[in-house]
Amino acid sequence: MMVIRPVKASDLDGLMELARSAGVGLTSLPVNEERLSARIARSEKSFSGEADLAERGYVFVLEDTASGRVGGICALEAAVGLKEPWYNYRVGTIVHASEELDVYTRHETLFLSNDHTGYSELCTLFLHPDFRVNKNGGLLSKSRFLFLAQFPEMFGKVVVAEMRGVSDAAGNSPFWEALGRHFFSMEFAQADYLTGVGQKAFVAELMPKFPVYIDFLPQEAQAVIGQTHDNTRPAVAMLHSEGFRYEGYVDIFDAGPTVQAYTRDIRAVRDSRLLAANVGDSADDATGFYLVSNTGFDGFRVLLAELAPGADSVTLSAEQAATLNIKQGDVVRVVALSPKETA
């Protein structure tokens, strides 16, 4: 059985295996024991209540309970930009008008922005190729929404997620080549890596402080602003189905879109219900796949089950109940895996 749970120190070897399979593109999951150990330690401090708001980051892993193998990772940052600046571009408009000449023009521009400071962030989502079956991707990604629903006071009113922008097979970004390279004098991969590991001060030091006129960029760079990499489109579609929207913010390096939603309006947060758990035989009249979590904090658990939820209860197998660390009559949080499922 697959279960989502908080990361722990003994997961280091499993995270290293994930990092090796992820390659160099996921900067928040490096093949580096020291950095991964620090990430685990920060998560453990967050779950224990020892971390300040600016430091709180909650990391979860997907575990195969039969083998103990770690098959995926996902995370939630409680509040971005409070310790290290969190930059993006806001796509805006500047109007130039002259009544005397009867001229009126609108120009799209890029403004360096810290508008998302204090918002929460979905991040570090990766599923090992061996585990990309049986709806594990949906379980891994959407499990975080049940954590948000259970502990809304721990997070911001808005949740954001940065999507990978357009680049070619060699990792070259047309937006970076047109803009960033002129200010940073380094390769795209290096700049992206530095921001991924938290070294972001150089962004404010080197980026232009005035609006960038999009009209001045080459056409190939203009075309990718707010567009996602082909491999990222399924993730964007999932977030759109949960209520996330592109609101005109893009990454400063590859111009990939940042999507956002009010926490309370995320479909899986809004529609989740607290129900009593019955422990017994699985229902024969299951209506669809549901995410089911316990209500613990540092002992938080989520699994995926085929269920037929009633008005005030849900029936779980003895194995499912044991995996969630619950017993007969305990309260669980339940939501359909996708909007298409019957709630």
- Give the catalytic positions in this structure: 229
SS3 112: strand
Q: How far is CA 315 from the centre of its chain?
A: 30
Contact indicator for 62, 70 with CB cutoff of 8 Å: yes
CB < 8 Å & 24+ apart, contacts of 190-196: 191/253, 192/27, 192/253, 192/254, 193/27, 195/27, 195/87, 195/253, 196/27, 196/28
Write the burial class of residue 48 (CB in 10 Å: 0-12 exposed, 13-18 middle, 19+ buried): exposed
Does an H or E element contain 124, and which? strand 120-127
Nearest to 10 by CA among 48, 46, 36, 45: 36
Structure tokens at 267: 């479909």
Structure tokens at 216: 């001045």
**What is the chain's percent helix, strand, coil content, to nearest 5?**
35, 30, 40
Place of tokens 């808005």: 158
Place of tokens 């024991």: 33
Place of tokens 């035989």: 281
Exposure string over 228-261, b if 16+ CB within 10 A, otherwise e: bbeebeebbeebeebbbebebbbbbbbbbbbbbb
Does an H or E element contain 302, and which? strand 302-307
